[in-house]
Amino acid sequence: MQTKTTLSADDWIKAAFRTLSAGGVQAIKAEAIARDLKVSKGSFYWHFKDVPDLKAQMLEHWSRAATGAIIADIEAAGGSPRDRLRLLVEEATGDRSLPYGGMLAESAIREWGRHDAAAAGALKTVDTHRLAYVAELFGTGGFTADQGAAKARLLYGALIGLETLAAEGLADLRGDMLNLLTDLLADS
């Protein structure tokens, strides 16, 4: 077994997201995650006060890694608003989520938010931030504020739905999203 010093809080958080993706929020238990990580349950307490603390840190980590870090990467890459929208779609449909349970992680967080006020609050904050960023890209790309907001909702809503379909093998997530982006940009 690994010792408590070989795992970081991020390792536990990633394992907790894999657990969430596979079994829902009720499956997030220190003992089950420790078993998955092949460590003792005691090492969990080196990083977290309890399971609610882990869940709170999961939501904070998700907001930072799946929104803040992606936006920062896209802005650092630069380019035109169209280039940044394309890069955003590529990032959102890439493999960043694999250590967290893959495509199912986002839908698992959405399900969690249906039954938990803290998760619902984090989800609303993230959705609002993501929509505002995408609307801003459309706006600086030549669309009015109303058009940009509408296109942002369409693009983001499609991502949410297509992730579910792609997980069932019924959609080509990246291809379908890039095609939609092309259509949404054609109006300018």
3-state secondary structure 8-33: CHHHHHHHHHHHHHHHCHHHCCHHHH
Q: How many CB atoms lie within 10 A of CB 68?
A: 12
The domains of the chain are located at: 55-185
Q: What is the pLDDT of residue 74?
A: 97
Q: Could you give the percent of the chain with pLDDT greater than 70?
A: 97
Question: Is the per-residue pLDDT at 2 higher than 80?
Answer: no
Predicted confidence (pLDDT) at residue 30 exceeds the cutoff of 60? yes
List, for residues 163-185, the tens digit of each pLDDT value. Answer: 999 999 999 999 999 999 999 99
Confidence of residue 4 (pLDDT cuts 50, 70, 90): very low
What's the pLDDT tens digit per position in 151-167?
999 999 999 999 999 99
Q: What does the pLDDT read at residue 3?
A: 45
Tell me the per-residue pLDDT of 37-87, one tens digit each, with 9 for 90 and over. Answer: 999 888 899 999 999 999 999 999 999 999 999 999 999 999 999 999 999
Question: What is the CATH architecture assignment of 55-185?
Answer: Orthogonal Bundle (1.10)
Q: Please state the separation of Cα 151 from the chain's center in Å.
A: 20
